[in-house]
Amino acid sequence: MTQATSRQCSGDTKGDVLEEAPVFRPSEEEFSDTLKYIESIRLKAEPYGLCRIIPPPSWQPPCLIKETSIWEYSKFVAEIQQFDRSPVQSEMGKEPGLEFTLKRFKKHADDFIQHYFFSKDVGHVNCKQEELSVESIEGEYRKIVENPSGKLEVLYGDLDTATFGSGFPVASNTEESCNKYIRSSWNLNNTPKLPGSLLSFESDKNSSVSVPHLRIGMCFSSLYWKIEEHHLYSVSYLHVGSPKIWYGVPERYSFKFETLMKKYFPDLLGKPSKLHGVITRLSPFVFKSKGVPVYRSIQYPREFVLVFPGAYHSTFDCGFNVAEAVTFAPLDWLPHGQNAVALYQSQGRKTSISFDKLLIGAAREAVKAQWELILLKKNTIDNLRWKGYCGKNGILTETLKSSVKQEGMRREYLCSTFQTKRKDKNFNSTSKRECSICYFDLHLSAVHCSCSSDRYLCLNHAKRLCSCTWTEKIFLYNYEISELNMLVEAVEGALSAVHAWAREDLNLGLRRYTPKEKSFREDEGKKEHKLQDAVTSYGNGLSAVSSIKAEIKARIQQLQCLHERKSKEEMVSTPLPRVTQDDTSLLLREVMPEDLSSSSSESDDTTDLDLDDGGKGCLLSTLSSRPSPSQPASEREVTLSQRRRLLKREVTLSELLKDNSSKHGTAKHFKSTSEGLPMSHPASKKRK
């Protein structure tokens, strides 16, 4: 049972004063997009390590933990924190305690404050709990931490919301008033997986980094100095109860902070994982006196506290409260995450997420966004979000370049006698594979041997895999280095690389169809059998190339005119990257595939089309690979059908049959597409 030594309510401690962390009050519009708003305040707030965010007045989410079914009946096991020895001599202990419901835990917390601050034996009978100031509690906490006398135990709860439940509404809540908050990006169940958050690419079902945790506290219960795993962002929301006091040290002072911590706790010199964990305590005023800035913030119910990557932080509670917190990773976290991977590998620490998997996932999504922005003009919020992180000097580009360079160096020194094999898609789809020696993530590559089915090593430790010969070992990879270099170029913005990666890796096509085209495609199936009859009667010695020369000429002229007009419009809305000749040829091959060709063996001479060089190049590219006359008729019919769809011929089937029957296939009477153009179109005027 919790023990408490009665102390006099001494008021705040005189002397040192900590500087307050910044406080932000977003407007309704700013608050609507979590990641965008955090990015907007990052430069102002990050130098402090943490900040407080006060939502607009309209933010009134229901607190589900107050529901009777959870408040009175959901049980959890509280853990004990002990303040019984000097913090400069030992680590702070914790152990399992009793089982509580939230209702019983609140009563226990209230009784503790009453006994500790208002016991009759210290002459404070007339004091009331609500009159106890935050400063008085903070002053008493400082005394306990710096000069403990006697034995003091407090309780706290750290609960996984996946099992206990979240304080935010979830999809299972059917009340109409919850709908707004179920979808909100500030609902911490949604925050890690938001568009633009790298944790949305994490598919490991065993990973807990994207699952929020409930923190149930009482007076003096503490979260000791820690840094988030992988130096991730974290955000905490106070659902209900007494204030929570935060202390933060910015990332740029982390080395000096760790040096001081090792000085006071010599046992930590060989235990870096404990230094970064949640088991050490030291007064924030000690760090301040040694030149390490510490910033303070008081969090009240319905407020958020944001902790930036790499910042050490600690908290303590002023009374009973329930908070919920989660980690997340916007794109600007990438350099911090990359540094954390290198640090963990040097220390032999296990990782909880696959950094390379998140990085490659982000790069692929960025290429898809560039494809849609540049070629399809889909200026959606999600696509535009990636724009500022790509390009030659973008954060995503620089991080990807560095990662690919390091991977290339590791592979360069790999034994050339290894067997090579591309990884199976299920290699690490549901769980994260890591090196058996240093725990390095194996998403990009690994070394394996059939003698040890469950043992995989990173390339740095390949020689320590087993005693088998080099020829028996297998080098596994997800991407070849040439493919990774292409991905880098695509993220930089090279149109040819964007096009190649989109086609080969993402299976994206260039064309998008208008409603008219869609309707046309739906009617193709109905007209296909009629087209077969037309081809049969039309194919008596008549060359398909010569019969549609006029049509191709008119169509290309029309496309050139439309391209010029669209180019002027697009220069106003979205600037296009410089398109090289190679890029143009790639796009032309996408629009006019090489398998669209003539159904006869007649020459494909194009001189009488009177086209400019660009038009001839386009036509020659289209007709450069023709099917053999010996091909089956069905294949030639499909080819003609494809050409007919691509050029969007407006000649009706009845006109084609009429011309064929009356003129016996004479090419000069074949109707050109230009006859169907509006009179105002330049191609139409030229034909007339």
For 617-657, write each residue's pLDDT tens digit: 444 444 444 444 455 544 444 454 555 554 444 444 445 44
Per-residue pLDDT band at 22 (split at 50, 70, 90) = very high
Q: In this structure, what are the phi and psi dihedrals at residue 356, rounded to the nearest 5 degrees?
A: -65, -35
CA nearest to 561, candidates 681, 400, 662:
681
Range with lowest mean pLDDT among 260-269, 281-290, 387-396: 260-269
CA nearest to 18, candidates 313, 254, 295, 291:
295
Give the DSSP H or E segment for 35: helix 34-45
Output the pLDDT for position 523: 52
Output the pLDDT for position 424: 83
Output the pLDDT for position 348: 85
CA nearest to 331, candidates 395, 379, 393:
395
Residue in the block written with tokens 């006029």: 550
List of E strands, 500-577: none
Q: Judge whether residue 577 has pLDDT over 80.
A: no
Q: Tell me the per-residue pLDDT of 101-142, one tens digit each, with 9 for 90 and over.
A: 999 999 999 999 999 988 755 444 455 666 689 999 999 999
Domain spanning 20-329: CATH superfamily: Cupin (2.60.120.650)
Output the pLDDT for position 105: 96
CA distance 550 to 654: 19
CA dihedral 454, 458, 460, 464 (to 10 degrees): 0
CA distance 148 to 142: 9
Angle (deg, nearest 10), helices 395-412 and 481-492: 160
CA distance 541 to 600: 8
Structure tokens at 211: 């699952």
Rounded to whole angstroms, the maximal C-alpha distance in the chain is 119
CA distance 588 to 567: 16
Q: Is 150:72 a contact under the CB 8 Å cutoff?
A: no
Size (the chain), residues: 688
Compute how many other C-beta atoms are within 10 angstroms of the C-beta atom of residue 610. Answer: 11
CA nearest to 449, candidates 413, 423, 475, 430:
475
Can you give the residue ranges of every domain in the chain? 20-329, 355-504, 535-687
Output the pLDDT for position 683: 41
- Indicate whether this model's pTM tops 0.75: no
Question: Averaged over 350-356, what is the pLDDT?
Answer: 91
Task: Provide the residue type at 527 as one letter.
Answer: K
Output the pLDDT for position 4: 43
CA distance 496 to 141: 62
Output the pLDDT for position 83: 79
Question: DSSP string spanning 316-342?
Answer: EESSSEEEEEEEE-BGGGHHHHHHHHH
**C-alpha distances in Å from residue 368, one per residue of 162, 507, 509, 645:** 33, 10, 11, 26
Please, which residues bridge with residue 94 across strands?
81
Long-range contacts of range 606-613, CB-CB < 8 Å, 24 or more positions apart?
A: 606/549, 608/549, 609/549, 609/552, 609/553, 610/553, 611/553, 611/556, 611/557, 612/560
CA distance 125 to 118: 6
CA nearest to 167, candidates 325, 49, 360:
325
Q: Judge whether residue 274 has pLDDT over 90.
A: no
Q: Tell me the per-residue pLDDT of 310-327, one tens digit each, with 9 for 90 and over.
A: 999 999 999 999 999 999
